[in-house]
Chain A
Amino acid sequence: MSTTSAPDQEKNEGVRRPGELNARELARWGWRQLTSMRTALILLLLLALAAVPGSLIPQDGVDSLKADQWREAHTTLTPIYEKLGLFNVYSTPWFAAIYLLLMVSLVGCIIPRCLVYARAMRAEPPATPAKLTRLPDSTTYVTDEEPAEVLAAARKQLRGYRIRKDGDGDSVSAEKGYLREAGNLIFHMSLIIVLVAFATGSLFGYKGGVIVLVGEEYGFANELSQYDDFKSGSLFAPEDLDDFSFKIDDFHAEWLNTGAGAGTARGFNSKIRYTAGTSDEKSYDLRVNHPLTIGSTDVFLLAHGYAPVITVRDGNGDVAYSGPTIFLPQSQNLLSFGVVKAPYASPEEIGFQGLFYPFEGTVDGEPVNLMGDIGDGSHAMLSLQGFRGDLNLDAGPQSVYALDTSKANMMSPDETGKAFNLRLGETAELPDGLGSVSFDDVQQWNRVQISKSPGKEWALLGVSLALVGLLGSLFIRSRRVWVRARRVDGRTLVEIAALDRSGGGDTAAVVTGLAETLRGARTQEENR
């Protein structure tokens, strides 16, 4: 079979059933199908469709907390979704299959087109078709000029066109817009650069978050153990972490006290000092939208909040817990939630959970947080719910931001069941001689994100090139124009036709424009 020529094969295929294709033919047929425009189009739309579920179902890689909450809320669907990888849509095999097929289809389409283009660049415009008037946009007129004069004028008018050298004696064949296809090819090849760069970033990159307290005695060193959360690509190795450390000397937020955004902060600024490797210490003002780049790692300021300094003494008067406690903001005005655990207090374990009000005011007898600016601290308040008994810490690892109260009992300052409300500097006694809790001071913290995305410059280069190519492929007009002039019945019959290869151009205007100029030029000469 291998010796049969291609047309024979095609004839034979009409007779044979499809099952009789041999492996090579099948592969060839498959390749042709895959690299056809129709398949590419369907794959493209399929890719769009496949991206949809990931935007509607919470993704582990985007917001793992939301994803976990979703799983708890939908117990029936979760196993099915897990099987389909719907919590990690963008790294599932089926999603990868679509874009890899698309890429293969793209490459299979682009390489032959590059070769065709390389030949076309060297080739002359095609010969003039025999029947110009059959083309959709054409015009004719009769003149007394010599055919050669008309053709010479046409050559002159078609500036910027590539003109077929020999012509056919009685015609001019011109073509322009060769760069359109170049733009098209650049666009598609750039997409491959982007994809490879993006894949590099996801395989070798990482992104981690950490909450760092503001102050000389705290800080961060770039080691895996220091991160609160850390996500990395599958080929990332901990040795890839750049060696640096930093401290936050001071944090300043500008507070809006009037207007529609009153009570919220603008203009965060962290004064940080950092050391990279063995180099000297440097300082930097870290702000939102102004990351710090150390080597190939970027450090971002994402959020800020308060950490009340809380001391818990147990029944013996020993300190069972002490230190700045990170409270997580629940709203824009930094009303924050936090947890204190004192498992080694005696006689009983003690835990607290509750809210921190940076600037508390009472509305209808209820405490309300008026703004995030703590000012001098005179309106700051901690409102803690107390628990005694087993904090269930033996059951396994717990979040530091959550208190397991399933085996503990609530405790209150008195019989009314109220919370322990503490102003700055106040201490409250716990019931039954269990100890005391005091609110000593307030510190600030910053949430910093540290990430490394290798290949990001390549991705930017690729996508920028793609845009340039796209502009070329959309706005460079690819057009062929033919002018034929020949003697008919003693006069000269001029036929003009144009073909737009870009699908969008108005060739009729080109044809009439050229005809008018050619005739106009003659009229002017006559008038002279």
Chain B
Amino acid sequence: MTDHTWGVLSNQAITAAGVVYFLALLCALVEWSAWQSRARAAVGEKELVGAGAPADETDAPADPADAVRAQRAALFGRLSLLLTAIAVACHFVALVGRGMAADPNRVPWGNMYEFTISGSFVVAAAYVALHRRLKLSWMAPWVLGFTIVVLMLAVVGLYEPVAPLSEALNSYWLVIHVIAAIIATGGFTLGGIVSAAYLLKARFPDAALLARVPDLDNLDRVSYRIHAFAFPVWTFGVLISGPIWAHEAWGSYWNWDPKEVWAFITWVVYAGYLHARATAGWKGKKAAIVALIGLATLWFNFIGINYFSSTSQHSYAAPAAPAVVELTEGASR
């Protein structure tokens, strides 16, 4: 296969992944609506009887209509997971294709488009991988919706043809440093989704729409476990491998480059999150808010600094425009 066909394959695989993610999202929404109607029915029953046990996943449903709904939820939940797994595989092919299309072959995270598709891959793949262990199946619509939106934005707004790496990026630290950043970004994003769900569930505990979302303690624990995984990866990425590479490429290990500053801010905010969970009065809601602030700083660093900062050496969003337009005109005429 030539570089060109690899590039075409990558683009087609991204499209295919997007379509399958969308089908998975539809299945997940059917599952959610089944849960919603179960919750509504349970509330109705409760009001009818006056008192009674709330609907529980483990309880054998007495009502035949509820049994049908539970069955439907389980079926579409499984279908959604299966489709997500297929989409993740397509997504992976797209990443491989991107790396193989470059000459020389390289890791598929040399520009923002590639970083974005790699990051969203981590989110989706982590969801599939952890879905049993952390019982994440309730997250399906959130993760899928997020992944689809991000992939669309990447394809529409960030797409760039495959190009070789610029000299400063051409280092094995690109593999180490950026893979840590991508994994941590994916992890923090997944954790942020759980924290957002926590805040919604805390605000609307009885909403039928949120019936599929587990209880607050569970959400808090899952959110913590995901963040506790992502934080050391982020520490390694921005405070160990980043400075080592900065020292080799730019001559000093910490330059107060805007990207570094924001990576540090993100680190500090997430350190705050881990402390908040252990501090009386900050547990739960406040900790979840801190986690979401951390996620906001993370994304701002990725999007905002690349586009708006003129002084960052990390500005890979667009090649530097020549700053001599008026001189060119004067000198050449």
A binding-site residues for B, Cβ under 8 Å = 37-38, 40-41, 44-45, 47-48, 51-52, 54-56, 58-59, 61-63, 66, 90, 198, 201, 205, 207, 256, 259-261, 264-268, 288-291, 298, 300, 302, 330-332, 335, 337, 353-355, 366-367, 383-385, 417-419, 421, 449-451, 453, 456, 459-460, 463-464, 466-467, 470-471, 474-475, 503-504, 506
12 contacts between A and B (CB under 8 A): A55-B262, A264-B166, A330-B323, A337-B327, A353-B327, A354-B327, A355-B327, A383-B331, A466-B235, A467-B232, A470-B232, A504-B225
- Bound together, the chains give a CA A453 to CA B244 distance in angstroms of 12
Q: Provide the residues of chain A in CB contact with B333, threshold 8 Å.
A: 417-419
B50 located at the interface, meaning its Cβ lies under 8 Å from any Cβ of chain A in the complex? no
Contacts A289-B168, A471-B232 known; A451 to B251 CB distance under 8 Å? yes
Q: Provide the residues of chain A in CB contact with B48, threshold 8 Å.
A: none
Question: Do B275 and A37 touch (CB < 8 A)?
Answer: yes
Question: Do B252 and A38 touch (CB < 8 A)?
Answer: no
* CB interface residues, B 236-266, toward A, < 8 Å: 236, 239-240, 243-245, 247-258, 261-262, 264-265
Q: Provide the residues of chain B in CB contact with A61, threshold 8 Å.
A: 256
Q: Provide the residues of chain B in CB contact with A207, threshold 8 Å.
A: 251-252
Question: Do B164 and A467 touch (CB < 8 A)?
Answer: no
A69 CB to nearest B CB, Å: 9
Question: Do B281 and A38 touch (CB < 8 A)?
Answer: yes
- Bound together, the chains give a CA A117 to CA B263 distance in angstroms of 32
Q: Provide the residues of chain A in CB contact with B252, threshold 8 Å.
A: 205, 207, 451, 453
Contacts A260-B162, A300-B250, A385-B330 known; A332 to B319 CB distance under 8 Å? yes
Question: Do B272 and A464 touch (CB < 8 A)?
Answer: no
B285 CB to nearest A CB, Å: 15
Q: Provide the residues of chain B in CB contact with A335, threshold 8 Å.
A: 322, 324
Question: Do B256 and A54 touch (CB < 8 A)?
Answer: yes
Main secondary structure on B side of the interface with A: helix
Question: Do A474 and B319 touch (CB < 8 A)?
Answer: no
Question: Do B236 and A467 touch (CB < 8 A)?
Answer: yes
Nearest residue in B to A267 (C-beta to C-beta)? B167
Question: Do B268 and A288 touch (CB < 8 A)?
Answer: no
- Bound together, the chains give a CA A331 to CA B327 distance in angstroms of 14
- Bound together, the chains give a CA A291 to CA B271 distance in angstroms of 33
A107 CB to nearest B CB, Å: 16
A18 CB to nearest B CB, Å: 21
A-B complex: 7 closest residue pairs judged by Cβ atoms: A260-B163, A55-B258, A449-B251, A55-B261, A48-B268, A300-B251, A331-B322
Q: Provide the residues of chain A in CB contact with B224, threshold 8 Å.
A: 503-504
Contacts A419-B333, A504-B228 known; A59 to B323 CB distance under 8 Å? no
- Bound together, the chains give a CA A249 to CA B258 distance in angstroms of 36
- Bound together, the chains give a CA A453 to CA B309 distance in angstroms of 26
Question: Do A44 and B271 touch (CB < 8 A)?
Answer: yes
Contacts A366-B332, A459-B253 known; A503 to B232 CB distance under 8 Å? no
B46 located at the interface, meaning its Cβ lies under 8 Å from any Cβ of chain A in the complex? no
* CB interface residues, B 274-297, toward A, < 8 Å: 274-279, 281-282, 290, 297
Question: Do B269 and A266 touch (CB < 8 A)?
Answer: no
- Bound together, the chains give a CA A394 to CA B240 distance in angstroms of 50
Nearest residue in B to A332 (C-beta to C-beta)? B319
Question: Do B250 and A302 touch (CB < 8 A)?
Answer: yes
Q: Provide the residues of chain B in CB contact with A298, threshold 8 Å.
A: 247, 251
B330 CB to nearest A CB, Å: 6
- Bound together, the chains give a CA A341 to CA B158 distance in angstroms of 45
Q: Provide the residues of chain A in CB contact with B309, threshold 8 Å.
A: 55-56
A95 CB to nearest B CB, Å: 11
Question: Do B162 and A51 touch (CB < 8 A)?
Answer: no
Q: Provide the residues of chain B in CB contact with A59, threshold 8 Å.
A: 256, 311
A117 CB to nearest B CB, Å: 16
B58 located at the interface, meaning its Cβ lies under 8 Å from any Cβ of chain A in the complex? no
- Bound together, the chains give a CA A332 to CA B248 distance in angstroms of 21
From the candidates A40, A55, A259, A506, name the one contacting B103 in the complex (CB within 8 A): A259
Q: Provide the residues of chain B in CB contact with A290, threshold 8 Å.
A: 248
B177 CB to nearest A CB, Å: 12
B157 located at the interface, meaning its Cβ lies under 8 Å from any Cβ of chain A in the complex? no
B105 located at the interface, meaning its Cβ lies under 8 Å from any Cβ of chain A in the complex? no
Q: Provide the residues of chain B in CB contact with A449, threshold 8 Å.
A: 250-251
B328 located at the interface, meaning its Cβ lies under 8 Å from any Cβ of chain A in the complex? yes
- Bound together, the chains give a CA A45 to CA B272 distance in angstroms of 7
B171 located at the interface, meaning its Cβ lies under 8 Å from any Cβ of chain A in the complex? yes
Nearest residue in A to B268 (C-beta to C-beta)? A48
B161 located at the interface, meaning its Cβ lies under 8 Å from any Cβ of chain A in the complex? yes
- Bound together, the chains give a CA A41 to CA B171 distance in angstroms of 37
Nearest residue in A to B248 (C-beta to C-beta)? A289
Question: Do A503 and B268 touch (CB < 8 A)?
Answer: no
Q: Provide the residues of chain B in CB contact with A456, threshold 8 Å.
A: 247, 253
Q: Provide the residues of chain A in CB contact with B257, threshold 8 Å.
A: 62
Question: Do B240 and A463 touch (CB < 8 A)?
Answer: yes
- Bound together, the chains give a CA A267 to CA B232 distance in angstroms of 34
